[in-house]
Amino acid sequence: MRNRTSRLLMLAVSLLLATVGALVTQTPANAANLLVNPDFETGTLSPWSCAGGLGSVVSSPVRSGTKALAGAASASDTAQCSQSVTVRPSTAYTLTAWVRGNYVYLGVNGGGSTWTSSATAYTRLTVPFTTAANQTTAVIYLHGWYGQGAYYADDMSFDGPGASPSPTPT
């Protein structure tokens, strides 16, 4: 009887661990691209905002689809384009963009950033980012550099679980 009880207890613990493991491994599957118009295929910048009117949607060069973002950095402006995204506090996200041009920067305000000095073909940039304990908004940005001319971006993503669901009224 004692041996049978031990086996049943071991089976119950194994099932519990398997269930917890399955729940943990399902979390990444819930990740979604939180950017709106991440590939610029709508043909407009909205909801992206580009400083000084120096951003536009172009048909060439594109990485995929038929549209991409073009920023026209000048001697006095980096042509920064940005989008605000709702996020969950204390949560990991990954920002990715395919960029082309000289000195193209990608980042999250208050978080990390990365850049490439020269990309004659589309190059992937990635920024891992974890929100602060009370953070509910993140501003995603990309820009060129002063006097470096045009930069391009396509196929962007900001992957993560999104905003906390609204509580159900009772």
Tell me: cis bond preceding 89? Omega within 30 of 0 counts.
no
Instruction: Say if residue 9 is in the same domain as residue 54.
Output: no
DSSP helix/strand/coil, 39: coil
DSSP helix/strand/coil, 66: coil
- 170 in a domain, yes or no? no
- Selection from 100, 111, 115, 99 nearest residue 157 by Cα: 99
Instruction: Say if residue 47 is in the same domain as residue 60.
Output: yes
Q: What is the CATH number of the domain that holds 86?
A: 2.60.120.260
- 166 in a domain, yes or no? no
Mean pLDDT in residue range 125-149: 97
Residue 6's domain comprises 1-27
Which pLDDT value is given to residue 98?
99
Tens digits of residue pLDDT in 141-169: 999 999 999 999 999 999 998 655 555 55
| pTM score of the predicted model | 0.78
- 22 in a domain, yes or no? yes
- 169 in a domain, yes or no? no
Instruction: Say if residue 8 is in the same domain as residue 66.
Output: no
As for how many domains the chain has, the answer is 2
- 18 in a domain, yes or no? yes
- 167 in a domain, yes or no? no
